[in-house]
Amino acid sequence: MKPTYALAALAVAIAVPMPAFAATIQAVMYKNPSCSCCESYAAYLEQNGFKVEIKATNDLSRISAGFGVPAQLQGCHSVVIGDYVVDGFVPVDLVKKMLTERPAISGIAMPGMPMGSPGMGGQKTESWKIYAFTKDGKAPTVYATE
């Protein structure tokens, strides 16, 4: 008796392991209630493997400072991912780089709301500086330029 194509396909499907699904990265975003660009940034993160819980707050500066974000780097949202915080519209490749390399920092931030950045829309018109910061209050250092 000849095996049918369906049986052959089934045999191959059973013998070849399914690719592993990448684990979703859990994140909590603290944001100003009236800011809609933060939700666009959360959607951008979710399109790139994150699961973002959004918590609106009217006390964002105190919350951000509590995570170690220097006042000059604080934006309209702070995203907590594991032991790190991301403030502003940091490109996801740099967020994932930080999570992979696990540097001895509290987090990274891109101050302002630059055009073309994730969540802001428009065309990129300038280079961006992303800063690393620590909870001990040392001056922030440049983490990356894009």
CA-based nearest residue to 46, from 113, 119, 111: 119
What's the first-to-final CA gap in the chain, in angstroms? Answer: 63
Locate the domains of the chain by residue range. 23-145
For residue 4, is pLDDT > 60? no
pLDDT in tens, 49-106: 999 999 999 999 999 999 999 999 998 999 999 999 999 999 999 999 999 999 999 9
DSSP state of 21: P
Determine the Cα–Cα distance for residues 61 and 65; give it in Å rounded to an integer: 6
Q: CA torsion angle for 113, 142, 93, 85 (degrees, to 10)?
A: -70
What pTM was computed for the model? 0.81
Looking at CATH, the fold of the domain delimited by 23-145 is given as Glutaredoxin (3.40.30)
Q: CA torsion angle for 60, 46, 128, 58 (degrees, to 10)?
A: -10
Which tokens in the block code for residue 137?
A: 């209050």
